[in-house]
Amino acid sequence: MAFLVVVLIFLVVIAIATYAVGSFFVDYSIVRKKREASSFIPADEIKAWDNEEKNRNKEARDRRVEEFLRTTPAEHPEIMSSDGLVLRASYYPQSGHKHAIMIHGYCGSRKDMQSIASMYYSWGYSVLTPDNRAHGESEGKYIGMGWLDKDDIQLWMEWIRKRDSEAKIVLQGCSMGAATVMMTAGDNPPGLAAAVEDCGYTSVWDIFSDELKSLFHLPAFPVLYMCNIMARLKAGYSLKEASSIRQLRKTSVPMLFIHGSNDKFVRTSMIDENYEAKAEGPREKLIVEGAAHGESEIVSPDLYYRTIHDFLERNV
């Protein structure tokens, strides 16, 4: 009898610890944030973003975006997610059957993708820039980390196909948006012509494991296992099932993989793991020397856009 009491007390303590620790890290990592993505990036990496050439490139980018927004007619559609959230986007239509969806990263918004959207528009694409769930003007409490977002993106693809039954759709995303692109491609949705991922992670489990070590100096066991249980209970998905690699193994969609050589947030080695996971269909890879996380467009804009444009010309 005493043994059973001890076991019961032990199980209760484990349950309380799992709830407390798991809930803390779920709330820290995937509950809607008021902070910007840069709040989660190491300070030494942010410092590396600042130099004269990069600042000139940023200024040129900002001028291009300002001109694009000033001169380009936009619509602002809304759709309903499968779990009842209102999702919002901006849409820049033009004639033709080429469409692109630009997917922003963690703690960002559609505004982050306006620069790349402006380039796609200049290449003849109609462009949709959505706010992911729990970001920007879209509803939601829990961040999807790509896994919930892949289903939302497929609803946006359906929205495009209703307007254009012959639509050829390209997806491009950065960081969490890149993971969304890879996870979406694994479902092989109709109309998907090609995909571009920029500094995407291999899985939510892997990126959280890295950040747990970097930010809190804690191992994955037992903390991440506790977080995984609470993520499934609260947000409706497992950190392990949210895997870019598993999804990439199921797709033959042409895909371009991009990463910065100095990325310490989503480590550069992840591009090789993602690239190798995609065994079928066309695949290309670009590593931008000297670029930190999400910086490839700024460090080498000519190389970045030429590589994307040429890839699309070959595959769309």
3 state SS for the chain = CHHHHHHHHHHHHHHHHHHHHHHHHHHHHHECCCCCHHHHCCHHHHHHCCCHHHHHHHHHHHHHHHHHHHHCCCECCEEECCCCCEEEEEEECCCCCEEEEEECCCCCCHHHHHHHHHHHHHCCCEEEEECCCCCCCCCCCECCCCHHHHHHHHHHHHHHHHHCCCCEEEEEEECHHHHHHHHHHCCCCCCEEEEEEECCCCEHHHHHHHHHHHHHCCCCCCHHHHHHHHHHHHHCCCCCCCEHHHHHCCCCCCEEEEEECCCCCCCCHHHHHHHHHCCCCCEEEEEECCCCCCCHHHHCHHHHHHHHHHHHHHHC
Same-domain check for residues 236 and 246: no
Query: What is residue 35's predicted lDDT score, i.e. its pLDDT?
Result: 65
68 and 139 share one domain: yes
Are 143 and 256 in the same domain? yes
Q: How far apart are CA 171 and CA 157, in angstroms?
A: 10
Q: Find the CATH number of the domain harbouring 133.
A: 3.40.50.1820
- From 219, 241, 263, give the residue that closes a domain: 241
**Domain shared by 21 and 118, yes or no:** no
**Alpha carbon 82 to chain centroid distance?**
19
Same domain, yes or no, for 125 and 225? Answer: no
Number of domains in the chain: 2
> Does 217 share its domain with 256?
no
Q: What are the residues whose beta carbons fall under 8 Å from the beta carbon of 98, sequence distance 6 or more?
A: 123, 124, 125, 126, 168, 170, 316
Q: Is 35 inside any structural domain?
A: no
- Taken as a whole, the chain contains a residue count of 316
- What is the pLDDT at residue 124? 98
Chain-centre distance for alpha carbon 120: 18
| Domain endpoint, select from 183, 215, 241 | 241
| Distance spanning both ends of the chain, measured CA to CA | 70
Instruction: Give the strand pairing for 86-92 and 78-80.
Output: antiparallel
For position 7, what pLDDT does the model report?
43
- Please tell me the predicted confidence (pLDDT) of residue 53: 87
Domain-located, residue 55:
yes
Host domain of residue 16: 1-30+204-241
| Residue 96 and residue 230 in one domain | no
Within-domain flag for 159: yes
Q: 213 with 260, same domain?
A: no
pTM for this model (two decimals): 0.93
One digit per residue, the tens of pLDDT, for the chain of length 316 reads: 665 544 455 444 454 545 667 688 888 899 997 766 655 566 566 555 668 888 899 999 999 999 999 999 999 999 999 999 999 999 999 999 999 999 999 999 999 999 999 999 999 999 999 999 999 999 999 999 999 999 999 999 999 999 999 999 999 999 999 999 999 999 999 999 999 999 999 999 999 999 999 888 888 888 899 889 989 999 999 999 999 999 999 999 999 999 999 999 999 999 999 999 998 999 999 999 999 999 999 999 999 999 999 999 999 9
What pLDDT, on a 0 to 100 scale, did the predictor assign at position 50? 65
- Could you tell me if 212 and 174 lie in one domain? no
Q: Looking at 214, 241, 268, which one is the last position of a domain? A: 241
Q: Based on the fold, state whether residues 113 and 216 are members of the same structural domain.
A: no
Is 137 contained in some domain?
A: yes
Task: Tell me whether residue 36 is in a domain.
Answer: no
Following CA atoms 160, 165, 168, 173 in sequence, which dihedral angle do they give, to the nearest 10 degrees?
20
In a domain, residue 212? The reply is yes
Residue 136, number of CB atoms within 10 A of its CB: 18
Q: Are residues 197 and 290 in the same domain?
A: yes
Same domain, 169 and 267: yes
Given a contact cutoff of 8 angstroms between Cβ atoms, the answer to whether 115 and 61 are in contact is yes
- Predicted pLDDT at 166: 97
pLDDT at site 133? 98
Residue 191 within any structural domain of the chain:
yes
pLDDT of the residue at 23 = 81
Write the CA distances from 199 to 90, 163, 270, 276, integer angstroms. Answer: 23, 31, 8, 15
